[in-house]
Amino acid sequence: MYKRLSAVMFPLCALLLAGAVFWGYQEHQEKNAVLIKAENQYQRAFHDLTNHMGSLQEQLGKTLAVNSASYRMQRKGLVNVWRLTSQAQNEVNQLPLTLLPFNQTENFLTRISDFAYRTSVRDLTKEPLSDKETQTMQSLYAKAADINKELGKVQDAVLSDHLRWMDVEVAIASADQTVDNSIIDGFKTVDKKVSSYPENDWGPSSASQHLQRAHGNASGPRISPEEARRKAREFLGVSAMSTGRDIMIAENGAKTDHPTYTATINAANHASKGDGKPQIVMDFTANGGKLLWFMNPRVVKTRSLSVGAAKQKAIEFLKAKGYDSMTPVTYDEYDHVAVFTFVAEKNDVLVYPDKVTVRIALDNGEAVGLQAADHVYHEAGLAVGRANVDEVKAKSVLHPKLQVTGHHLAVIENDEDKEVLCHEYTGKINGAQYRIYINADTGIEEKVEQIPDSARAIL
C-alpha cells in the first residue's frame, strides 16, 4: 500500500516542486525586469536634469549677453529659460526624492520659471527689463552655475561608481537616518546651498500673490475667539445654540501676516439639521473677522432642483449674507451639488478677480459651501478705469467667423497677474463657445477661454 501511495505521491510532489521553482524563477525575472525599467527611468531623468540645468545656465548667459534694446532676442531667451526650467522641474518630480529635503531647490526652480514666464509675455518694447530684473538674471546665472557644479559632482559619482537610484529609493524609505549614499548626500548639498542664497528681488512682474494679498481688504481690528464664535453663530442663524460649548474655535497662524480663526460646529446642533452629519467648518480672518470659507460636507443623495432654481437659491443666499452686486459666470455640478462662481459687478463692469463660489445642494436648495477668500483679499477700492478702445474697434480684432452672442466690460488678471480692463465677448466658433478678452487700452487679445457646456445654463 505504501509503495503504491509513494509511487503516486513522489511524482506529484516532484511536479509541484518543479512548478514552484519555475514560478519563483518567473516572479524573480519579472521583478528584476521591473527594477531594471525603474532604474533606467531614474537614470534618464537624472541625466536629463543635469543636461537641462546646464542648458538653463547657458540660456541665462545668452540672454544677458544680448543688447538691452534687442527685445526679440530677450523674449526668445526668456521663453527658453521658462521651457528649460519647466523641463527640469518635471525631471525632479520623476526622481525618488519625495522624502528627501529638496524643496528649496524645487521652489527656486519654480521662482525662476515664474519670473521668466511673466517677463517674457509682457510687451518689452513698452516695458523693457528694469535694472533690478537684469540684476536678478545675473544673480540667477551665478546661482545656476553653482548648482550645476554640485550636480556635476553627483553625476561624476553616479557614472564612476556605477551608483543605482534604486538604492536611493531604499535608503530614503529606510528608517535608518545614518545611511550613507553619495546621491542623497549630493542632493542634500545642493538643497542646502540653495537655501543659503539671499532672496532675489524678483521684480514687479513676479510679485508673490501672498504679498499682493497683504494690501487687500483683510484688515481691521483684531477680533477675539469669542467674537469669531459669535460671527459663526450669526452666519448660520443658530439662535438656540448654547454659548461657548457648541462652537469650537481654533486660532491659526498667530504670528503670520494672515492669522485666522477656524470655527467647528456639530451639524446636529444646526437648527436646519437633525441628522448628525459631519461637522460644519468655517474660517474667519483674525483681522476684521471676515469669512474666508464655509463648508457643510453633508451627503446629498437626490436631486429635485433645476439649474435655474439652484441659481436663484445661490443669489438669495449671497444677498442674505451681504454679498451684493454679484453676477454668476460659471456653473458646474458634482454629486447632486451645484457649484456657481459669482463675480463682482461695479458700474456694469464685471470684476473677475473679485469672486465667490457657492455650493447649493440640489435636494433642498440649501447652501452647503462658500469660498470667499478671493473677495476678501481683493483690493476693495481698486479703480476700474475707462476704456480707451471702444466696443466697435475691439470687435474688429475678433475672428471674422466668431458668432458674437454677448459683450461686457470686464476686469481680468492677465498673464502678469495685473488687473486690466477688457472688452469681454462671448461667442461661438467651431462648435464651441468662448469668452474672448480684448484689452480696452491696447486693443490686443489678452485671453481666450472656452466655456464648458455646463456653464451655458446660466449664461
Q: How far apart are CA 187 and CA 433, in angstroms?
A: 48
Name the strand (E) or helix (H) holding 421: strand 419-429
Query: Within 13 Å of residue 111, how many CA atoms lie on the same side as its CB?
Result: 21
Mean pLDDT of 270-279: 52
3-class SS of residue 447? strand
User: What digits encode the pLDDT tens for the residues 17-56?
Assistant: 666 665 665 665 666 666 777 778 888 888 888 888 888 8
Q: Has residue 171 got a pLDDT over 60? A: yes
Q: For position 321, what pLDDT does the model report? A: 92
Q: How far apart are CA 21 and CA 110, in angstroms?
A: 51
User: What digits encode the pLDDT tens for the residues 120-135?
Assistant: 888 788 888 888 888 8
pLDDT class for 410, splitting at 50, 70, 90? very high
Residue 437, judged by CB atoms within 10 A of its CB (0-12, 13-18, 19+), counts as: buried
Do the beta carbons of residue 417 and residue 402 sit within 8 Å?
no
User: What digits encode the pLDDT tens for the residues 192-232?
Assistant: 767 666 555 555 444 444 444 444 456 678 889 999 999 99
- Of 150-164, 215-229, 264-278, 322-336, minimum mean pLDDT range: 264-278
Q: For position 421, what pLDDT does the model report? A: 93
State the DSSP code for 268.
G
Residue 127, C-alpha cell as written in the block: 516695458
Q: How far apart are CA 335 and CA 1, in angstroms?
A: 69
Q: For position 108, what pLDDT does the model report? A: 80
Q: Domains for the chain: give ranges and CATH numbers.
A: 26-206 (no CATH), 225-377 (no CATH), 391-458 (3.10.450)
Q: Has residue 103 got a pLDDT over 90? A: no
What does the mean pLDDT of the chain come to? 79
Q: For position 166, what pLDDT does the model report? A: 73
Q: For position 215, what pLDDT does the model report? A: 44
Residue 304, judged by CB atoms within 10 A of its CB (0-12, 13-18, 19+), counts as: exposed
Where are the extended beta strands (E) located within 270-348?
280-285, 291-295, 326-334, 337-346
3-class SS of residue 236? helix
Residue 423, judged by CB atoms within 10 A of its CB (0-12, 13-18, 19+), counts as: buried
Cα angle 262-264-267, degrees, rounded to a multiple of 5: 150
Q: How far apart are CA 119 and CA 418, in angstroms?
A: 12
The overall longest dimension of the chain from CA atoms, in Å, is 107
Q: For position 314, what pLDDT does the model report? A: 95
Q: For position 422, what pLDDT does the model report? A: 93
Do the beta carbons of residue 182 and residue 150 sit within 8 Å?
no
- Of 55-64, 74-83, 184-193, 421-430, minimum mean pLDDT range: 184-193
Q: At what angle do helices 165-173 and 2-65 cross, to 10 degrees?
A: 100
